[in-house]
Structure 1
Amino acid sequence: MKLFSPVLTLAFAGTSQAALRFGCSSLTIQRLDPLVEPGRTPSSHVHQIVGGNVFNASMSGNIGEQGTCTTCTFSEDFSNYWTAVMFFKHPTNGTYKRVPIMQNTALPNGINGGMTVYYTQLDFFNNGRDKITSFKPGFRMTVGSPTTNTLAEAKGHPGLRFVCLDNKGTRFPELPEFPTKSCRGGIMTVHHFPSCWDGKNLDSPDHQSHMFNTAKEAFAPAGPCPASHPVKMPQVAYETLWDTTQFDSMWPRDGSNPFVLSFGDNKGYGTHADYLFGWKGDSLQKAMDSSCMFQGCEGGRPLKSQSVADMNRCSVKNMVKENLDGLHQEVTELKDAHSG
């Protein structure tokens, strides 16, 4: 476990208004997990990964200084963000097909799959006046756990939800499990991370204990950080839109859910996500100290940004020889190594 011992500056430091919302195209979709299963090729299940091209089976050091390209809007962000992949299970022959990923309506056209990433400070509309401390080189965390297997447990993770979309702008209601009916606009998965840090550990054995969640629901004001985790950091969140509409005609007649996450979960209780910090230099701290909002942070105000074509051009090699796009790709449901 790597430690960091900063001098904590928690005093008021002026109005802090920045909030980031940006797109990241898909970097790769393969069976790798350098955070929970470092060095294992293949990892126990398939992930969609976005962000910097340092991504590999094992990652260490200052990722922000190692990357040469990123699939994210901000060209100084070499972080990696990843989630499990969604599959459709055919109700008759039991075979699987990977569900395509759509770009969010708030993002520029042409983004290749990927997800929307947020760094917020208070809630979706107001950033408050607290000092927000950037993550440090080497920082990493997970949220949720694939071992969650009851609805009661899933309800206890307020930042991990599904939305049955009427259209890409739909945001409510948020559900703790897969929708039980076909969704006219597809399904969105939502992952919110905790934002209170213990101020010492860049990671922890379970990849979660160094952080503490004080939010009661997504994009809602969180409570104050406790003494055990006193440092307020940005709240990171992901939104991923899955184009489930092409499978509507094959929805099971008994109304059961036909979708499954890549670790074998057909309820959605175990939805989870991983984050590995990799912003270059002090670029994220400069953003958190600024007054920019969403697209207003681009073009050097204060963050450097890039075109969609540049985002889509960044990639990494396929390190696991596996055809995930076949019409009848079978999912290997291996025991997952996540804990939490």
Structure 2
Amino acid sequence: MSRRSRVLSGTLVASALLLASVGIGTVAAGADTPAPASSAGAAHPAHAVQAARVGHTMAVSNAASPEDPDGDGYIPANPPVTGVTPSTAEPPHRYFHEFQANCAVSHTAPDDPIVFPQQPGKSHDHTFMGNTTTDANSTTASLDAGATTCLAPGDRSGYWMPTMYDGDRPVLPVGPQTIYYKAGVTDYTSVRPFPKGLRYVVASPMQSAQDFRDHPGFVEGWECGDSFFNVDFPADCPERQDVQVNIRFQAPSCWDGRNLDTPDHKSHMAYPVVNPGTNNNICPADHPVALPMIEFKMAFPVNGDLSQVRLASGASYSFHYDFFNAWDAPTLDAMVGHCIVGGLQCDARGYDQTHPEAGAALNEHYELP
């Protein structure tokens, strides 16, 4: 049976998975499904309804695209990674095994080349970082040819999230934002670079407040000043120049080794699990390939009264984000090997200030030496 036949024969299962993950409904294309209501949107009911209705439904199968010509949602890795078993090893303890990708906002648009490829204007509004060309028609090849707002010119990946609004005013992060690449498994020496073209969606615009709080990627939720771990935007947010609204949220880091994307944009990825024998974090057997765990640490320049603040996707707990890997492969390999596998806490050059003897992976221009 072909991949497309499997998808068509299992539409009920597929649609349920899609609804639970990225809001792709079982209704006909173009139908509207409202998102959960939010106190943050209560002051703007028309805006809240619009945000809830736009970009959350589509047909069960994806639109055809250059990388998915049959439109079945599967983009196979070429070559696949096979013969890998999850590592249960425990290397020497290191407090850190990470590096930063510092990327600024480039533009906003109602596009999503992962969920709605080749369908401009179909999504709710997104705030894009990294690759400056990211739009509904983006492919691995087009991103490879694009420019970037990241400090490292070799990082031409696309990063995006729902646009935040304060009333009708977009609230866009200012300057390079912190995107961590870290080990999500105990055996940090087993982490390998992302395959070119890998893409996925983290969390869901259709999740409930409890789903958001219980999500394995939840780190500190929404925070402002001394208020942390919030599902809703903090009510107590000091109105000071040095205060912003922040969120930290982690992505899955275990890959099935076979697909660069799947119909729900999630099933090819998984979060690490606890090995009951050792209490170590390992990748599950069906997603055995350990990749870097991305963590968004975003800072939004808004404070004080947040009653007018909302996301383009709906409530505060509808926060989610997308990643489309277009790193220069040798550059990413150097950063992963030096910083994650090497057990260092690196900046965007791959330099750890506490271990100057280790040197840096990149030169002063953030490029390979």
Please give the TM-score of this superposition, normalised by the length of structure 2.
0.65
- CA 1:305 to 1:81, structure 2 compared with 1: closer, same or farther past 3 Å? farther
Given candidates 164, 173, 179, the residue that maps to 1:101 is 173
What is aligned with 1:6? 81
Alpha carbons 1:146, 1:272 under 8 Å: kept? yes
TM superposition shift of 1:99: 2.1
Q: How much has 1:122 moved relative to structure 2?
A: 4.3
Change (3 A) 1:138 1:63: farther
Provide the C-alpha distance between the structure 1 equivalents of 2:206 and 2:297, rounded to a whole number of angstroms: 21
Q: Aligned equivalents of 1:273 and 1:305: distance in 2?
A: 30
Match of 1:285 in 2: 333
Question: Given the alignment of the two structures, is residue 275 of structure 1 paired with residue 328 of structure 2, yes or no?
Answer: no
Aligned-partner Cα distance in 2 for 1:242–1:2: 34
Structure 2, unaligned stretches of length 5 or more? 1-73, 353-358
Q: Answer 1 or 2: higher relative contact order, Cα 8 Å, separation at least 6.
A: 1
Structure 1 residue identity aligned to 2:295: A
- The change in CA–CA distance for 1:259 and 1:138 in structure 2 (over 3 A counts) is same
Q: Which residue of 1 aligns with 2:50?
A: none
Match 1:29 to one of 108, 118, 123: 108
Question: Relative to 1, partners in 2 of residues 1:88 and 1:204: Cα closer, same or farther, differing over 3 Å?
Answer: same
Shift in Å, 1:274: 0.2
Residue 240 (structure 1) shift: 1.3
Q: Which residue of 2 aligns with 1:134?
A: 193
Structure 2 CA distance, aligned partners of 1:181 and 1:139? 39
Structure 1 residue matching 2:262: 3-state secondary structure: coil
Distance in structure 2 (CA, Å) of the matches to 1:294 and 1:301: 8
Alpha-carbon shift at residue 64 of structure 1 (Å) = 6.3
Amino acid at match of 1:282: P
1:176 paired with 2:176, answer: no
Q: Tell me the SS of whatever aligns to 2:294.
A: strand
Q: Structure 1: 5+ residue runs without aligned partners?
A: 90-95, 103-110, 308-340
Cα distance in 1, alignment partners of residues 160 and 249 from structure 2? 10
Tell me if the contact between 2:120 and 2:135 (Cα under 8 Å) persists in the aligned partners: no
98 and 191 in structure 1: CA distance in 2 versus 1, 3 angstrom threshold:
same
Residue 190 (structure 1) shift:
2.1
Per mean C-alpha deviation after superposition, the further-off stretch among 57-66 and 24-33 is 57-66
Which residue is 2:34 aligned to? none
Say whether residues 1:228 and 2:290 are aligned partners.
no
Identity of aligned residues (%): 24
SS of alignment partner, residue 261 of structure 2: coil
Per the TM alignment, residue 215 of structure 1 is displaced from its structure 2 partner at its CA by 6.7
Is the alpha carbon distance of 1:287 and 1:101 closer, same or farther for their aligned partners in structure 2, counting shifts above 3 Å?
closer
CA distance change for structure 1 residues 13 and 186 in 2, over 3 Å: closer, same or farther? closer
Report if the CA contact (8 A) 2:213-2:231 is conserved: yes
The 5 Å alignment of 1:180-195 reads 180-184=235-239, 185-195=243-253
Pairing 1:1-340 to 2, within 5 Å after superposition:
1-4=74-77, 5-8=80-83, 18-62=97-141, 65-67=144-146, 69-89=147-167, 96-102=168-174, 111=175, 114-122=176-184, 128-148=187-207, 150-160=208-218, 161-166=220-225, 173-184=228-239, 185-214=243-272, 223-245=281-303, 248=304, 251=305, 257-265=307-315, 268-290=316-338, 291=342, 292-295=344-347, 297=350, 301-303=360-362, 306=365
Greater share of helix: 2
Give, in angstroms, the shift of residue 281 of structure 1: 2.3
Kindly state the Cα deviation for residue 14 of structure 1 after the two structures are TM-superposed: 7.9
Q: Partner letter of residue 47 of structure 1?
A: H
Q: Post-superposition shift, 1:7?
A: 4.0
- Partner letter of residue 100 of structure 2? R
**Aligned-residue RMSD, C-alpha:** 3.0
- 1:42–1:199 Cα change, 3 Å: same
> Cα distance 1:204–1:224, how it changes in 2: closer, same or farther (>3 A)?
same
SS in 1 for 2:192: coil
AA matched with 2:124: H
SS at match of 1:191: strand
Q: If the length of structure 1 is used for normalisation, what is the TM-score?
A: 0.70
CA distance in 1, matches of 2:132, 2:252: 25
C-alpha deviation, 1:121, in angstroms? 0.9
